[in-house]
Amino acid sequence: MNEKIIQKVRENIPLIHHLTNAPTMNFVANGTLAFGASPVMAKSIDEAADMAKNADAVYINIGTVAAEDIPAMIAAGKAGNEKGIPVLVDPVGNAATPFRSQAVDRILAEVKPTVIKGNAGEIAHLAGMDWKVKGVDSVGDGNIEDAAKLVAEKYDTAVVVSGKTDVICVGERIFTNDTGHHYLTLVTGGGCLLGSIMCSCLSTDDSIEEQLLTAVEFYGLAAEYAVAQDHVKGPGTFMATFLDALSMDAAILKGEKQHESINS
Amino acid sequence: MNEKIIQKVRENIPLIHHLTNAPTMNFVANGTLAFGASPVMAKSIDEAADMAKNADAVYINIGTVAAEDIPAMIAAGKAGNEKGIPVLVDPVGNAATPFRSQAVDRILAEVKPTVIKGNAGEIAHLAGMDWKVKGVDSVGDGNIEDAAKLVAEKYDTAVVVSGKTDVICVGERIFTNDTGHHYLTLVTGGGCLLGSIMCSCLSTDDSIEEQLLTAVEFYGLAAEYAVAQDHVKGPGTFMATFLDALSMDAAILKGEKQHESINS
Amino acid sequence: MNEKIIQKVRENIPLIHHLTNAPTMNFVANGTLAFGASPVMAKSIDEAADMAKNADAVYINIGTVAAEDIPAMIAAGKAGNEKGIPVLVDPVGNAATPFRSQAVDRILAEVKPTVIKGNAGEIAHLAGMDWKVKGVDSVGDGNIEDAAKLVAEKYDTAVVVSGKTDVICVGERIFTNDTGHHYLTLVTGGGCLLGSIMCSCLSTDDSIEEQLLTAVEFYGLAAEYAVAQDHVKGPGTFMATFLDALSMDAAILKGEKQHESINS
């Protein structure tokens, strides 16, 4: 983890344009704010590209996409590509229905992603591998690194496979991260918000492997910190405390420093 | 309450397909996850039926329905009927506007519900009885059991009328439940999430009266437990702790067992 | 602050019809409920006007508006005007894209607002003044009172400019409020929910300056109270406690009275 990346995000307050799913918008926006960036979620084709031109990164997540939403996603992604800002694509549940699979194909045919991020089932589906899924969740197992490398080559992009161990593929290099907690899977949008935190980190001038590793490691540490707090008794109190943790310094999450009172 | 139903849900992790309203999606998804099931909310006509084919139950809730959403609700409901999985319909605020009333009629003309669930005003409206409503809330009073029986016969379905006393009608039999707390009415989606918890319970192989009674009794106990926690001071802290409670065993909610720390 | 206005809201439970943005719907609905009013969010053109006819105030917020949403906003606003109930317009991020600016123009050409409420950048844009914005946030500075007066005259409306100091313009008179906390800017919908609280206060029979001052002062006090609680450690726990605070009496927020346990 490169903590300077987090500091830069908090100094620059990058504007992250989200084309994302309905159920998790509120949580993702709050997590983006907590981390120190600025979310905007202008989903209309009438302004998606204009908003991307103002932004520092574009995040496309197909969680509850309908056919009529795809043109705005493509327009925002292309505007991001033209501006030269990072564009992250999250192919949520792409194996669950033919429509989802085709929606991702349509987007990736026109938008060049800086990063494709998904769970193992989603990345495996993009790689053309068989994988067991349930709704929008991955429940199968197989060689995740192979899947990531195939997708990285096929789409000429960095790839992040989120899971118990996160796998990051940049070119032919593989990096892994083991911070995190299964409680993130008990909160809707745990994966979606990670995509937004990645976008925030991608907006700095550091190397992409440092940016992605910082995002996943910090995110996992925040979950570990939240679960370790005495007042957290389940997914509801976890969610509130996890948002708190995203606003803290890495040193606090790692137990190297005490959290200062905000009540003074 | 049959606690084995809850155990089965947590072992099988049923996939509940939600066609539901925008303001409460996040809360409903989080409550479904907390309870132990898996929510998906694919609202597009392009995949609503395909997603239902993968699911263990279908939940149709018209809280913020627009005309263009109705075909996807019908497609998902029909796919659920064909697969033989439970389909629950919640006619939110059907008496508030002619459009809502007609939307419910259109859905129920094509979809065979396993359960219709609503507040007293909604069920009374379906029964053709006069009832006072305010927006999407019921404020009138009358004979709830009669209303439930009329709706059960008219639509050949089980009926749940949620309220201070929940009334369940299966065939000609009436069951009631008195767990719960008025704080559930201070959180948006308190009724919507109950529909999803019912769907989870309906996915087991038990009798429908046991499934519905278990859902409403457990849900009410979770609310009572949350309100009784010292750190709960109002609707915001209630909501977080209620989600925690939904993830616990019934024995903990009833005070028969201590909650184990999740922080170990 | 006129605490009787808050008491009247809690006695009358006004129905506030929201035509609002997707990411903050859940938070706004919960805040409206916590404060003591009743939210409804019927966004469809098929019922927006009918729902407004049942309501006590109409709130139009363009946060994630698409072209197809505008007719429903106009229909609800006009129905509110015809019924003689307060109509509040929040031109969220109107300077961010041409589409937003035009959307607001279209709405204000047909709907007569009782109040226009925005941040400094939004009000300045309506006034035709140059102002620096970032996404949907205002980051510039200038003479806010002048901007408010220009907008009040141009649209024959009261104006509220929310910010560190809130500025209220009624006719040619200016009122200000200094309660509040920067944590409100770390939670998505902090401004949106204020609009809804204003609508609740506007539903009483008091003078508009008292209604608006009561709303902004109470809202700011609730934020101050939440931040001062020991268990609030960041934006996530703040959000839950802020919702609690919105349900309390002003005397508690001001420290003049203890909060009674809800656990009895």
Q: Is C138 annotated as ligand-binding?
A: no
pLDDT of residue C202: 98
CB B38 within 8 A of CB A134: yes
State the helix-helix crossing angle for A190-202 and A3-12, rounded to 10 degrees.
Answer: 80
pLDDT band at A134 (very low <50, low <70, confident <90, very high): confident
Residues of B in contact with A24 (CB under 8 A): 26, 29
Query: Residue B31: which pLDDT band, with cuts at 50, 70 and 90?
Result: very high
C223 touches chain B (CB under 8 A): no
Q: Which two tokens stand for residue C44?
A: 């469809």
Question: What is the structure's pLDDT at A140?
Answer: 67
Query: How near does any CA of chain C get to the CA of A67, in Å?
Result: 15
Are residues B64 and C41, on separate chains, in Cβ contact within 8 Å? Answer: yes
Identify the pLDDT of residue A264.
59
DSSP code of residue A264: -
Q: Does A34 touch chain C (CB under 8 A)?
A: yes
Chain B CB within 8 Å of residue C241 CB? yes
On the question of pLDDT at B264 being above 70, the answer is no
User: Which residue in C67, C189, C232 is closest to A262 by CB distance?
Assistant: C232
Q: Which of A118-132, A212-226, B48-62, C213-227 has the lowest mean pLDDT?
A: A118-132
Consecutive H or E run containing B17: strand B15-19
Q: How far apart are CA A206 and CA A12, in angstroms?
A: 14
Across C115-143, average pLDDT: 84
Residues A79-113 pLDDT 10s: 999 999 999 999 999 999 999 999 999 999 999 99
Could you give the 3-state DSSP secondary structure of residue A117?
A: strand
Condensed to tens digits (0 to 9), the pLDDT of residues B112-135 reads 999 999 999 999 999 998 877 677
Beta strands A115-119 and A87-90 are parallel
Instruction: List CB contacts (< 8 A) between B27 and chain C.
Output: 26
Output the pLDDT for position A130.
80
Q: Supply the mean pLDDT for chain B.
A: 95
Report whether pLDDT(B140) > 70.
Answer: no
**Per DSSP, what are the bridge partners of residue C174?**
C169
Quick one: three-class SS letters along chain C? CCHHHHHHHHHHCCEEEEECCCCCHHHHHHHHHHHCCEEECCCCCCCHHHHHHHCCEEEEECCCCCHHHHHHHHHHHHHHHHHCCCEEEECCCCCCCHHHHHHHHHHHHHCCCCEEEEEHHHHHHHCCCCCCEECCEECCCCCHHHHHHHHHHHHCCEEEEECCCEEEEECCEEEEECCCCHHHHHCCCHHHHHHHHHHHHHCCCCCHHHHHHHHHHHHHHHHHHHHHCCCCCCHHHHHHHHHHHHCCCHHHHCCCCCCCCCCC
C150-171 residues labelled b (16+ CB within 10 A) or e (exposed): bbbeebebbbbbbbeebbbbbe
Residues on chain C touching B67 (C-beta within 8 angstroms) = 44, 46
> Cβ distance A95 to A123 under 8 Å?
no
**Burial call C75-92: b when 16+ CB within 10 Å, e when fewer:** bbbbbbbebebbbbbbbb
ipTM: 0.96
Closest of A73, A138, B49 to residue A126, by C-alpha: A138
Q: How confident is the model at residue C100 (pLDDT cuts 50, 70, 90)?
A: very high
**CA–CA separation, A91 and A143 (whole Å):** 19
Q: Mean of the pLDDT values across residues A208-221?
A: 98
How far apart (Å, rounded) are the C-alpha atoms in residues B250 and B5?
11
**With pLDDT > 70 as the criterion, what percentage of chain A qualifies?**
97
Q: Is B226 on the interface with C (CB under 8 A)?
A: no
Question: Quick one: pLDDT band at residue C134, thresholds 50, 70, 90?
Answer: confident
For chain C, domains (ranges, CATH) are 3-253 (3.40.1190.20)
Task: Choose the closest CB to C236 out of A28, A44, A239.
Answer: A239
pLDDT recorded at residue A135: 73
Confidence check: pLDDT of B174 > 90: yes
**Distance spanning both ends of chain B, measured CA to CA:** 30
Q: How many angstroms separate the CA of residue A149 from the nearest CA in chain C? A: 35
- C130 pLDDT above the threshold of 90: no
